[in-house]
Structure 1
């Protein structure tokens, strides 16, 4: 005769099996830091995937896609395609997000670069201290390490 199975253990095994099966069916995610995170917003994760797919697109001031972008054009495009509208500029996007500390950031959150109180650049956090962003004229959308501590983080609500 076998020992009785604890219902909590059985439930956690079933939950783990369902999570693994769901991940296997969902396919592979190509952006770093996109490990399954139960608390990450589905809209933010979709926006990160969309921004990832735009890597290599040229920077163009004022461009909002689908073939070229400036920094806030990329973030507004990615979130719009994911089902959430953001304002057009980096500063307006900052004021539309829930501000979070660096320790709480997750893939899909927005990273705002600032000088004093002035927000001048935005990208999508990709995990491992990296962002997807459209840097400046003459560059392309790319994944890059965050190069400064002068950043704030915002979570799309």
Structure 2
């Protein structure tokens, strides 16, 4: 670990327009940013751009994701951040934060606290490990990264090793790879909603959590840590990469692909689904058979204590016809801590990601993958 950070507003601040111009943005992009940011600066408030429907529902893929990251996060960068964070690191924090759906300034605060954005000369930053076995600009334990400092990224790789620059390898010393891995770790453990839990898992000390949150506030022009909008559907890695294994990854990929489709009672696709129908089909996409209805799914999975749920688990609600506390009538699928995908009702809008922790009628959580018949299905598939 590095010493506690010192904050400074000295040094030349890099202007957003110059950043955009140097990145090859055309005049239309620069004009949009000026229209959004300049009035916000003059009147002391930040106005965030709303993504277009093509971004929200999947058009444009990675290019739109990167552009949205630059435009949206640029409005919330303080002078402290611009003076303290190297340009290449700042762009990575913003891009990856948007891609995964976590706060860019929290990522940046961890990068500051760990290695001063890769500028520390202590052991383990550019090669080897420190006294605790941590390495790289975001200070991953090699075992947590995946067992090797640099490894080819292939399906089924365990750990947080990530390929942030598209070269096919996860290199713990590469800022693009390390920052992406850090974002995935935060996302899997509660970000963007439960930041204290997510940061505590990153480094299990309450003083560390307090320091990171304080730095993050200083890096935001608003002086606050806002919960970002959902990660763009064009950048589903925020949810997909939080899957604990390849089976859950297939389940979540199918469910996410149904966003925007309507609710239909009894629906199992391909054009519409009801709440249990989308879950039933998502598990079938992974080669697994579970009960079709909510009333059948509730007793089927192993009961999971609240707070221990993970992607692929089910969350049940005392809602809908014939429902009761011991016989829930509505179900959603957990995609990250506090978030689920659900087909809620005919008048509730299309299938979408929503927050479940603010619902007052949660009955409980289950894990279908721990049902003995599913375990047997998985074993057969592996032979």
TM-score range, shorter chain: 0.7 to 0.9
1:126 to 2:335 alignment: yes
Change (3 A) 1:135 1:36: closer
Q: Which residue of 1 aligns with 2:293?
A: 89
Distance in 2 between residues matched to 1:156 and 1:84, nearest whole Å: 10
Q: Deviations over 1:92-135 (max 9, x none)?
A: 11111111011210011111112421211111101131110101
Greater mean deviation of Cα atoms: 145-154 or 83-92: 145-154
Q: Which residue of 1 aligns with 2:265?
A: 61
Q: Which runs of 5+ in 2 are unaligned?
A: 1-127, 134-141, 155-161, 170-233, 319-323, 370-383
Distance in 1 between residues matched to 2:335 and 2:305, nearest whole Å: 16
Q: Greater share of helix residues, 1 or 2?
A: 2
Q: Which residue of 2 aligns with 1:30?
A: 236
User: 1:74: how far off?
Assistant: 0.5
Distance in 1 between residues matched to 2:253 and 2:260, nearest whole Å: 14
Q: State the number of aligned residues.
A: 147
Change (3 A) 1:95 1:31: farther
Q: Which residue of 1 aligns with 2:153?
A: 21
More relative contact order in 1 or in 2 (CA 8 Å, sep 6+)? 1
SS of corresponding position for 1:80:
helix
Q: Which residue of 2 aligns with 1:142?
A: 352
After TM superposition, the score normalised by the length of structure 2 is 0.35
Distance in 2 between residues matched to 1:107 and 1:60, nearest whole Å: 24
Distance in 1 between residues matched to 2:147 and 2:330, nearest whole Å: 40
After TM superposition, the score normalised by the length of structure 1 is 0.79
The one of 95, 106, 116 aligned to 2:310: 106
- Does the 8 Å contact 1:34/1:127 carry over to 2? no
Distance in 2 between residues matched to 1:77 and 1:34, nearest whole Å: 17
User: 1:63: how far off?
Assistant: 0.5
Alignment RMSD (CA, Å):
2.8
Distance in 2 between residues matched to 1:67 and 1:142, nearest whole Å: 14
Change (3 A) 1:116 1:56: same
Q: Which residue of 1 aligns with 2:253?
A: 49
Moved over 2 A (4+): 11-14, 16-26, 31-37, 40-45
1:153 to 2:365 alignment: yes
Q: Greater share of strand residues, 1 or 2?
A: 1
